[in-house]
């Protein structure tokens, strides 16, 4: 499955560059990492966000979200955001920032 390169570019612009930011192709998509920990990913035209277990319920209550269910079992602490909820740069920025804050709080890999 291909990923939306336009969405990936918007994420790159938000996360910036630096020694702690990296990208990795995974499962037909693209993952963005901070210090080796996943922040967000793009699969098709959707965004998967690492929100952390404490923010899981709040994240899933937002419009256009659903649980991340890549393996047939929902992963707590992750949300998938539909492309329709990412049309505004401010909305995308909120999700990317939330994932970045969570990943930055984890020990580097």
The predicted model scores a pTM of: 0.94
In this structure, are residues 30 and 55 in contact, taking their beta carbons and an 8 Å threshold? no
6 vs 54: CA distance, rounded Å: 30
- pLDDT tens over the chain, length 109 residues: 689 999 999 999 999 988 999 999 987 899 999 999 999 999 999 999 999 999 999 999 999 999 999 788 888 999 999 999 999 999 999 999 999 999 999 999 9
Domains and CATH numbers, the chain: 5-104 (3.90.1150.30)
Q: Are strands 21-26 and 37-43 parallel, antiparallel or unpaired?
A: unpaired
């Amino acid at each position: 499955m291909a990923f939306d390169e336009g969405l990936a570019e918007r994420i790159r612009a938000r996360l910036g560059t630096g020694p702690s930011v990296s990208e990795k192709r995974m499962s037909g998509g693209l993952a963005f990492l901070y210090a080796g920990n996943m922040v967000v990913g793009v699969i098709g035209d959707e965004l998967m966000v690492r929100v952390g277990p404490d923010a899981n319920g709040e994240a899933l209550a937002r419009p256009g979200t659903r649980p991340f269910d890549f393996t047939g079992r929902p992963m707590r602490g992750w949300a998938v955001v539909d492309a329709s909820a990412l049309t505004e740069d401010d909305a995308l920025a909120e999700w990317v920032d939330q994932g970045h804050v969570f990943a930055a709080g984890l020990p580097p890999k």
